[in-house]
Amino acid sequence: MDREVSNWAVGWTAFAGIMMVISGIWWIISGLVAIASDTFYIVGEEYIFQFDATTWGWIHLLVGILVLVAGFYLFTGAVWARTIGVIIAVLMALIAFAWLPWYPIWAILFIAVSVFIIWALTVHGHDIAEG
What would the pLDDT profile of 56-101 be if each residue is shown by its tens digit? 789 889 988 988 888 888 888 777 878 888 898 898 899 888 878 7
User: CA-CA distances (angstroms) from residue 14 to 11, 118, 126?
Assistant: 5, 13, 11
pTM score? 0.72
- At residue 30 the predicted structure's pLDDT band, cuts being 50, 70 and 90, is confident
User: Residues in the chain, how many?
Assistant: 131
Mean pLDDT of the chain: 80
Mean pLDDT of 32-40: 82
> What is the predicted pLDDT for the residue at 49?
60
